[in-house]
């Protein structure tokens, strides 16, 4: 099955609450990245966490990585209506001597004002 | 250019016609990816280029789909004899392609293909 699977597939919360999205993967990785997509067009990179890191912060975003469980989580604190989007995790790993990035199916987040 | 450029941004075609979708990656990026996204769905991997070669074509859904990349830069995705189920947004992304240079993927805004 696909490398990088997010859950839940859809999440609806009230503005001000925290949103947590999870990602699992199957093979060993170099890095794990999270992306955001608005309106079904191009994705925008949010944050990258290396395989030797356990936690990383960027503004209201907090990412954790547990390589023993092959899982990651993205936490958005104090959510805003503008955070409504789809969020994707992506793993990059060695593939034939190169680095290949593989995306999961995404979590649709709706933040209700 | 400053970012990944895809053209056309929208394409309406009749069933059975061939279409070509173009992707101009960021200069110097060796890795290039094509994905497809149907309405409300996740990303479906199509093909991955490293330079001009395609080490992974596993996502191409049928032999009607083909892609090439020339000069380690521009890529073209061709769909022959289009079918209505080919309607989707086709997204292209590029990245530096190595751990040292970086693996962050930069996306174009996609081509919305509608087959009528």
Higher pLDDT, A83 or A104: A83
Answer for the pair B102, B75: CB distance below 8 angstroms, yes or no: no
Whether pLDDT at B113 is above 90:
yes
* Phi and psi torsions of B109, nearest 5°: -85, 0
A5-112: CATH number:
2.60.40.10
Catalogue all structural domains in chain B, each as residue range(s) with its CATH number.
5-115 (2.60.40.10)
With 0-12 / 13-18 / 19 or more C-beta atoms within 10 angstroms meaning exposed / middle / buried, residue B80 is middle
Q: Can you tell me the distance from the alpha carbon of B76 to that of B80, in angstroms, rounded to the nearest whole number?
A: 13
Q: What is the pLDDT of residues B21-58, one digit of tens each?
A: 999 999 989 889 999 998 878 888 899 898 888 878 88
Q: Mean pLDDT across the stretch B77-99?
A: 92
Q: What's the mean per-residue pLDDT of chain A?
A: 89
Which chain A residues have a beta carbon less than 8 Å from that of B103?
30-31, 33, 48, 92, 99, 101
Tell me whether residues B104 and A88 touch, CB distance under 8 A: no
pLDDT of A89 higher than 80: yes
**What is the structure's pLDDT at B43?**
86
Spell out which residues of chain B touch residue A45, defining contact as CB-CB under 8 Å: 104-106
Q: Beta strand pairing status for B10-13 and B111-115?
A: parallel
Distance CA B40, CA A59 (A): 28
The nearest alpha carbon in chain A to B4 belongs to A42
Instruction: Name the residue in chain A with its Cα closest to that of B3.
Output: A42
Contact A40 B55 (CB under 8 A): no
- CB contact under 8 Å between A106 and B42, yes or no, is yes
Per-residue pLDDT at B101: 65
Instruction: Give the per-residue pLDDT at B103.
Output: 77
Mean pLDDT computed over A75-93: 94
The beta-carbon neighbor of A101 closest among B33, B108, B109 is B33
**B4 vs A42: CB contact, 8 Å cut-off?**
yes
pLDDT at B87 over 90: yes
Split at pLDDT 50, 70, 90, the class of A3 is: low
Residues of A in Cβ contact (< 8 Å) with B31:
98-101
Indicate whether A92 pLDDT > 90.
no
- Positive or negative torsion for Cα A28, A30, A32, A38: negative
Grade residue A2 by pLDDT with cuts at 50, 70 and 90: very low
Who among B45, B104, B110 is closest to A48 (CB)? B104
**Predicted confidence band of residue B116 (pLDDT cuts 50, 70, 90):** very high
């Amino acid at each position: 099955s696909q490398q990088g699977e997010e859950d839940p597939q859809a999440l609806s919360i009230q503005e001000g609450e925290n949103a947590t999205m999870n990602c699992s993967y199957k093979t060993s990785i170099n890095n794990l990245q999270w992306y955001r997509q608005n309106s079904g067009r191009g994705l925008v990179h949010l944050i990258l966490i290396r395989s030797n890191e356990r936690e990383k912060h960027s503004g209201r975003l907090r990412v954790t990585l547990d390589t023993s469980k092959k899982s990651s989580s993205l936490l958005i604190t104090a959510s805003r209506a503008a955070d409504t989007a789809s969020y994707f995790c992506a793993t990059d790993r060695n593939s034939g001597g190169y680095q290949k990035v593989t995306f999961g199916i995404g979590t649709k987040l709706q933040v209700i004002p | 250019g400053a970012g990944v450029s895809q053209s056309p941004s929208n394409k309406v075609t009749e069933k059975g016609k061939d279409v070509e979708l173009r992707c101009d990656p960021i200069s110097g990026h060796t890795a290039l990816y094509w994905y497809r996204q149907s309405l409300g769905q996740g990303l479906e991997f199509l093909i991955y280029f490293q330079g001009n070669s395609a080490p992974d074509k596993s996502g191409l859904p049928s032999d009607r789909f083909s892609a090439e990349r020339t000069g380690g830069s521009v890529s073209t995705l061709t769909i022959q004899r289009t079918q209505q189920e080919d309607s989707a947004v086709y997204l292209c992304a590029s990245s530096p392609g190595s751990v040292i240079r970086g693996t962050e993927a930069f996306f174009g805004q996609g081509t919305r293909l509608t087959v009528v």
